[in-house]
Amino acid sequence: MKVVIQRCKNAQVTVHEEVVGAIGEGLMVLVGVTHEDEEKDAKYLADKVAGLRIFEDEQEKMNFSVLDIGGAILSVSQFTLYGDCRKGKRPNFMAAARPEQAEKLYEAFNRELAAKGLQVETGVFGAMMDVSLTNSGPVTIIIDSRN
């Protein structure tokens, strides 16, 4: 599994002009799943995301996690994280997991975050979504459970 994490002041996801998930301060997390991924990958990434110290303390050092600041998570599935652009101009998405597997692990990831006491808002799996956020910093981190 792979996540792209953006520290944000606010974020929301809209489907068919309806807001389906929105947060204030916290983390916008794009989540991709590949074929070899298992529930242990979802748990590993949820632990990393929840504990990632990328919020600033009083000395402006990245010392606090989203848990520490009482922030929230906006989690959006995104198979395009596994787009392979090495050949040609059109990405190849063969490394992305089939929807049945991806949805199961995406939901497991979100459950793990919620079990840690985090407010978790989501998009709609498989839908065409509009995502907006105010990236704070900007701070953007990529974590892959396989690397």
Q: Which residues are catalytic?
A: 78-80
Alpha carbon distances (Å) from 104 to 38, 85, 139: 9, 26, 28
Beta-strand pair 62-64/130-144: unpaired
Please tell me the number of Cα atoms within 13 Å of 52 on its side-chain side. 25
Among residues 28, 122, 27, 29, the alpha carbon closest in space to that of 69 is found at 27
Read off φ and ψ for residue 138, nearest 5 degrees.
-75, 145
Among residues 60, 7, 10, 2, the alpha carbon closest in space to that of 34 is found at 2
DSSP designation for 92:
B
With tokens 């709609």, the residue in question is 124
Beta-strand pair 26-32/72-77: parallel
